[in-house]
Structures are given as structure tokens and as C-alpha cells.
Amino acid sequence: MSQSDFEEYSQKSIHFFSRRVPPLLVKALSLIQSNPTVVDVGCGDGHLVWSLSENSHIAVNSRVIGVDMSPIRVRRFSELTGYPGIVAEGHHIPGLADESVDLTISTMVLEHVPDELEYLAELARITRRGGWLYLSTVIRKSGAWYFRKAPDGRRVLDSTHLREYPSVDSVVKLLEASGFTVNDQCLTRLIFPIAHPVVRLLHAWRPIKEVQRIFLNPAYAWIEKLALPIPRYRSIELLATRRDI
């Protein structure tokens, strides 16, 4: 996907917000030192950092930075969260020094990047030794099905996915090879909130100004509970420490 295509995708594609915070990420935040630096790589519109702030999981003295390759997403991130953002691709973040981050966050990014090992090497570079990585991605089990298609005809969860991992072990091995030691993991079923396509269709038909604000309404959380499981798809969350490399 070219940069111009990605910007068009970022302009039209909606990131859905949720007040739910992943328990493993909460655990990671409880383990880091005072005055921490927390970086969300692939921050999107800021939905995750917003949720953490809403639930009082980010300490007042934290330094929080969002990273995304889309200027549109970075602008939305800063406007929503009040934290600064860096426009950069995940495999090369020149605005962050070596071993400068206490907690690096990567949610549903690994399946999108062209070179997964190059991406993980950059996460290892910016994370301090003994620091933490929270990473999530998609697991596609045998017999998995979804209605979207990749350009090459593969059935995928998202048409921009370059890969979907066959097992938890395959992701753990990637992290271990990249300088991380996996300490904890959580595998959950992926669900399809029925409200999502309705909002997408309405937004495509007539763009809704500040559409993300819909998801900030507490009433939407109740509507979003109407959901169906996605056959044979799972979400894996991993908590790892950066070891000496």
C-alpha cells in the first residue's frame, strides 16, 4: 500500500473505541517504574491510550507518545488524548532514542507490517533492557472464515493484513528471536459487534463529523455488546520483557 493509499485508508477507515482495557496491559502498567515513558506504536486515532486514561491507568507523571505512519491518525491521537505523536513507520522511529521506553505497546500492528522481524527489532531498540512490551495480533486457526478478502483473494479479518498467524507459538518464537522474553499471554475469541457495519455504512454514505465521538458515548458501550463470534479467529495478547541482545 502506497503512502497516498494509506492516507486515503486512514481518512475513510474508522477506528472503533472501547472503554475496555486489556488486563495484560493494565498489568504491564502496574509493573513499570515511576515517571515512565510509554509509547504506542501504531497508535491510530488514540483509542487505546484514551481508554487507559479514562480508566485512570496512566499515571499523571507519565510521558506518553503515539507513533503512526499516518499524519491524519497522529493528529487525531493528539487531539483526543492530549499527548504528542510522531509520524513514522514502525520499523524506523528516528524520534525515539535507543532504550528510551519503559513500556512499548503494539496492538494489532504486527500483521500489517511488510517485514515483521525488522519491525520487532525496532521495538527492541527503543525498549530499555528490562522494560516491557505489550503486543497483540491475530491468530487464524484451521477453518477460520471472515467475509473480507485480501487483494490476492485470501479470506482475511482485514483486507490490509499481510499475514495472519497460525498459532500462539509462531508469535512467541518471533518475539524470542527479536530479543524479548514472553512472561504472560492471553488468548481470546474475536467477536463481530453488529453495530460496527451500521456505523461504517452511515459514515460512507454521509461522512459523520468527528465520528469517533460516537464511541465515547457510554450508551454505545451497551449497543456494542450485541456481537457474534468470528469463526476460528482469536486475538493473542503477549507481555514480554526486553532482555540483553
Query: From the CB of residue 36, how many other CB atoms can be counted at a distance below 10 Å?
Result: 19
Of the given ranges (4-8, 96-100, 131-135, 148-152), which has the lowest mean pLDDT? 4-8
pLDDT surpassing 90 at residue 28: yes
Name the 3-class secondary structure at 234.
Answer: strand
What are the tens digits of pLDDT across the range 194-208?
Answer: 776 677 677 666 766
DSSP one-letter code for 109: -
Query: From the CB of residue 178, how many other CB atoms can be counted at a distance below 10 Å?
Result: 20
94 burial class (0-12, 13-18, 19+ CB within 10 angstroms)? exposed
147 burial class (0-12, 13-18, 19+ CB within 10 angstroms)? exposed
Sole residue written with cell 486475538: 235
DSSP one-letter code for 197: H
Cell of 122: 525496532
Quickly state the pLDDT bin for 10 (edges 50, 70, 90): very low
Residue 6 has a pLDDT of: 47
Average pLDDT of span 223-241:
90
Higher pLDDT, 34 or 28: 28
Give φ, ψ of 4 to 5 degrees: -65, -40
Average pLDDT of span 127-142:
96
Higher pLDDT, 228 or 178: 178
State the greatest distance between any 2 C-alpha atoms of the chain, in Å, as a whole number. 52
Reported as type and span, the H/E element at residue 172 is: helix 168-177
Over the chain, what is the mean pLDDT?
87
Residue type at 15 in one-letter notation: H
**Is the CB of residue 76 less than 8 Å from the CB of residue 85?**
no
Higher pLDDT, 6 or 63: 63
Quickly state the pLDDT bin for 110 (edges 50, 70, 90): very high
**Is the CB of residue 132 less than 8 Å from the CB of residue 28?**
yes
Residue 170 has a pLDDT of: 97
Is the pTM for the entire model greater than 0.85? yes
- 42, 45, 51, 52: CA torsion to nearest 10: 40
Cell of 141: 486457526
Sign of CA dihedral 19, 230, 142, 120: negative
Quickly state the pLDDT bin for 149 (edges 50, 70, 90): confident
Residue 169 has a pLDDT of: 97
Quickly state the pLDDT bin for 212 (edges 50, 70, 90): low
Name the 3-class secondary structure at 101.
Answer: strand
Higher pLDDT, 210 or 134: 134
Average pLDDT of span 29-56:
91
- Please give the distance of CA 78 from its chain centroid, rounded to a whole number: 16
Quickly state the pLDDT bin for 82 (edges 50, 70, 90): very high
